[in-house]
Amino acid sequence: MATLQKRTLGKSLEVSALGLGCMGLSHAYGPATDRREALALIRAAVERGVTLFDTAEIYGPFTNEDLVGEALAPCRRQVVIATKFGFHVVDGKQQAGLDSRPQHIREVVEASLRRLRTDVIDLLYQHRVDPQVPIEDVAGAVKDLIRQGKVKHFGLSEAGVSTIRRAHAVQPVTALQSEYSLWWREPEKELLPALQELGIGFVPFSPLGRGFLTGAIDENTRFDSGDFRNNLPRFAPQARKGNQALIARLAQIATQKSATPAQIALAWLLAQRPWIVPIPGTTKLHRLEENLGALRIGLTPDELRDIDSALSGIAVEGDRYPKELQAQVNR
């Protein structure tokens, strides 16, 4: 097992500087990856030194946790498993609405522990803030699970600053997971300063813009009918065409550093704060290795300024989410 650079989330959760987002192996991007190939990819990440693996009950639903649990069972004590609760699932199908009632959290955790083949969840996130349940009740429920030894650390996903503060006052929050990348920099306004103040780590999902920042997607790309990018305004063909200007500039910068656009995008994120741990996802071994190569790229302060300057004049076209999903974030 190789050793990668380490970073610390919150006060004490040490993980590899890049994690692996496992969602896309069985959820949201079309047909699930062949199980043997998916198991092999997760285990290849372990061999290369990745120690943070991200899943959720809703991915599948359920099938992704089962996959991650099987893949990591042989090395369970050497890795950190993060999973999430908060959606409403009936008979294996996601229903409308959210559910973070304390009783539901307890039920989800018991089921997740079984699927993950473990006796403890290292990092448990609330997947989306539930406006029907006070965040203090959510944090209190997770605090009880930590006392019982079933959970080690508490996290929030896509939460706003005031919610983070309220939760943190009840049970210290180890990590916030939200989208952050070169084409979604909203967290810089309020979230990053608050996380810095409170000593909370940041785990950016979609650090490669759901694949766009790799340079492999343009206006002619056709997604599988089951790929949720078909429903995202930022991935409408016209937006993809307009956003090629960002990719073109990113590719120029990458060429100067003998790197790929994806590696520059990840290296840029890693350079923003020492407590940021991106979790790019992939289904392909060569992409996993490409992403990990970002850890070998050091960007100087001058280079970071050049990147900001080069990209500052390029407006990203298209909203991140359709309106109904946007209403669930930054609460």
Write out pLDDT tens, residues 84-142.
Answer: 999 988 888 888 889 999 999 999 999 999 999 999 999 999 999 999 999 999 999 99
| For residue 164, pLDDT beyond 90 | yes
Euclidean distance between CA atoms 197 and 191, whole angstroms: 10
pLDDT per position as a tens digit, 6-40: 999 999 999 999 999 999 999 999 999 999 999 99
Q: Which of 25, 48, 66, 30 is nearest to 231 (CA)?
A: 30
Residue with tokens 């009632």: 101
Per annotation, catalytic residue among 29, 59, 125, 180: 59
Helix (H, G, I), strand (E, B) or coil at 165: helix
pLDDT per position as a tens digit, 315-327: 999 999 998 889 8
Whether the model pTM is above 0.95: yes
Measured from the Cβ of residue 93, the count of other Cβ atoms closer than 10 Å reads 8
What Cα–Cα distance (Å) separates residue 36 from each residue in 8, 25, 67, 226, 328? 32, 11, 10, 21, 34
| For residue 149, pLDDT beyond 90 | yes
59 is catalytic: yes
**Average pLDDT score over residue span 212-221:** 96
Which band of pLDDT confidence, cut at 50, 70 and 90, is reported for residue 330? confident
Q: Which domains does the chain have, with CATH numbers?
A: 6-208+272-296 (3.20.20.100)
Give the single-character DSSP code of 181.
Answer: B
Report the alpha-carbon angle 315-128-275, nearest 5: 65
Q: Which of 108, 111, 138, 140 is nearest to 126 (CA)?
A: 138
| For residue 197, pLDDT beyond 90 | yes
Q: Are 81 and 121 in contact (CB under 8 A)?
A: yes
For 114, the token pair is 């079984």
Side chain identity, residue 238: Q
